Structure 1
């Protein structure tokens, strides 16, 4: 006897439907409570929404990341990188990747990142109105990558244009016309990075130089890691700033707490903001065998999405899961993924956001966000706001 597939109640909008993308949380909340390992007939994907089950998907070797790219509703292959490989190839690529994005590389940039944050804040108009996405998040992400890659000052705008155009490749369900533009942009970005990597060889102050000189990698593998670092890192870092301020600014007690935060509380705050609205809301895998999870059974060959944004609000793990608690600890969120594929750029995101956010609210204590419904973009990945107009008020 076969069991009929579970369907969302009629009052809930499918989280992938255009009308459901602005607020997918009610649908994910229902799935997590009623069918945490859910076969979605519309996308032909298994949606895993409970925290414990998502953690298993991320860590269990029976879930293949290399095969997971088959989930993408696209016919283009992704370049060789940590994202598209399983161990042992994944480990072979990840070790050199740490030369670019690992903790030691981030520590080497810490003084420069602080300079970049202060320079960005100095440019903001006191008493003015800015778009936090376009005028804070994107310039900050570009400055960070300029440090990582050793970009000359005049190259920042060109790099940002290439990064923005190529970042469409993050969305696995982008329409065909935009997917074609994304492929072309990714090729242009790779060509640019190839030439630039050659120009920094021998420098000791640029993390890219160490990666480019690593003889454990072929040139194609090195460029695959670089492309992933940009496509999978620049845009999510840029968009996270808008997401974070959208969550933070309505909560004046949280703003006040962050203004007085030390480094430890600032990092806790970044993790909490990521927990609630991470730019990467899910990750894809394919099962290589039958797998029993706490919430259900997956057959071999199942195309699986670990819905990280649903796992991050699981009430069995997080007290008051929909509330912002800047000092939440422990905070085992999955906003950076987990297991072998834990986001290599996590130290960079944590460091950069923990530098920016407290300084921003200290510099502009009257900072206010917009009233009304947030303007979420229709893309699935990254989860981002189209714009976030904020009133800066006077400086402190």
Structure 2
């Protein structure tokens, strides 16, 4: 539970700005498109941290790495809290996101500590915390901004990150890397090489990237929809929509249990279908709050099912390289998220909510297509549950000295 809370608080700092874009833009003197770049900076910084920092978990002691990343995140949150213009806020947001990948050190940490037969449930529990942090950040930021302004959100999260750093240091066991000697550059080369030698990693990364892109399209554009006609909601009211998304996030534990029972492919397939269908409800939500709520809940449920089932497939490939696999997968995932946020801002300016729904539906349909192609090209090897061994799926050749 500590790891679940810690991951949620770590990623929350990357999403505080979403329901506050109008408010931040007015105070710092930037337009809607420029304000939306805060979201893109967060996801881009997170993707950079995933590829540069998360692989270190296979090289150094993981508890210390997690603690240091959480402490650094607290410092960078203070930069955002004291920002005097849009440039400083963008820098603070990007740096916060860079080090908040401590959450992605904690997730494979939990997978390593779990028994193989319970890995899906354990990963699902920790990922529930992560997704709740991602979604409830909007609710918390809306409420705190009403009480003390948008900067209050960053001050509060900085204090919580300091607390998490201390608790992780005290409560988690020591857990080192894989024992191999390699340079940092060799570690990064090995991480990139995972894409070359693990076909399932390529397929699942593509599916998850499109899924998060669709997810980001919704949550980036939703602020603009709810702030304008016919809704005209306040920042705190917009933030409450995170509660609707949280309902979907709670399915992570269910998806994890199903994966432990061998139904991982069914979970993925159902998730991609629901992800695509959710945009029909969201399109009707332009003027109907009920349909908007239904669409948000179904989309978040579907995204969580796709993500959790993909993690259970991938964490079984190479236990000794779990951080590098997680780094490669999550980098692709959040590049997709950053692209979705950027596309949402541009499409909103050109086509409004209707254009956003077409974009989201297209990205979601892409997950269904990729999943179908994965099933055709990888056959039964891809259909195995999280108990699939690395021997069955093909190993990366032994690394050379220094790698």
Q: TM-score, normalised by structure 2?
A: 0.25
Give 1 or 2: higher strand fraction: 1
